[in-house]
Amino acid sequence: DTAVSQTPKYLVTQMGNDKSIKCEQNLGHDTMYWYKQDSKKFLKIMFSYNNKELIINETVPNRFSPKSPDKAHLNLHINSLELGDSAVYFCASSLRGKDSPLHFGNGTRLTVT
C-alpha cells in the first residue's frame, strides 16, 4: 500500500532515556515533516525536510534531532526524554513544498514516565 508509515506505534519510556521514531513514505514525495500533537489535539510543526535538506526547524529543544538518510525516510531522535515530551508525534509528507497538502502517518504515541 502507498502510505506514510511510522514506527513504533506506541512508545513508553522513562525520563532521561533516548529514543528514536522512524518514518518512511512511498508516495514519491519530496518533502517530509514531523508534527507534534498535544493532549488538546493541537498540531504543531517541528521540522521539515526537502530532499534530505532541513528547511524548517521550529522552536524545538535541541534534544530533538531529525535525520533524513534519503528523501523517503525521516527519523526523529529524542535525547534525555522529559515528562513534557509525552504527546503523539506524526510524520507527514507532501509532493512539493508548502502549498501541497500533507499526507500523515498514523502517529507514534509517546508516554514518558
Partner 1 sequence: QKEVEQDPGPLSVPEGAIVSLNCTYSNSAFQYFMWYRQYSRKGPELLMYTYSSGNKEDGRFTAQVDKSSKYISLFIRDSQPSDSATYLCAMNSGNTPLVFGKGTRLSVIA
**Is residue 72 a contact residue for partner 1 (CB under 8 A)?**
no
Q: Are 80 and 18 in contact (CB under 8 A)?
A: yes
Closest CB to partner 1 among residues 76, 90 = 90
From residue 41, how far is each of 37, 38, 45, 47, 60 by CA, in Å?
5, 5, 13, 18, 18
Alpha-carbon dihedral sign for residues 64, 77, 57, 38: negative
**Among 13-21, 39-47, 59-67, 71-79, which window interacts with partner 1 (CB under 8 A)?**
39-47
**Is residue 42 a contact residue for partner 1 (CB under 8 A)?**
yes
Report the residue from 7, 13, 19, 45 that binds partner 1 according to the rule CB under 8 A.
45
Closest CB to partner 1 among residues 12, 43 = 43
- Using CB atoms within 10 Å of the CB of residue 57, give its burial: 0 to 12 exposed, 13 to 18 middle, 19+ buried: middle
**Is residue 27 a contact residue for partner 1 (CB under 8 A)?**
no
**Is residue 43 a contact residue for partner 1 (CB under 8 A)?**
yes
Assign 57 to helix, strand or coil. Answer: strand
Binding residues (CB under 8 A) for partner 1: these are 4, 40-45, 48, 56, 58, 90, 92, 97-99, 101-107, 109
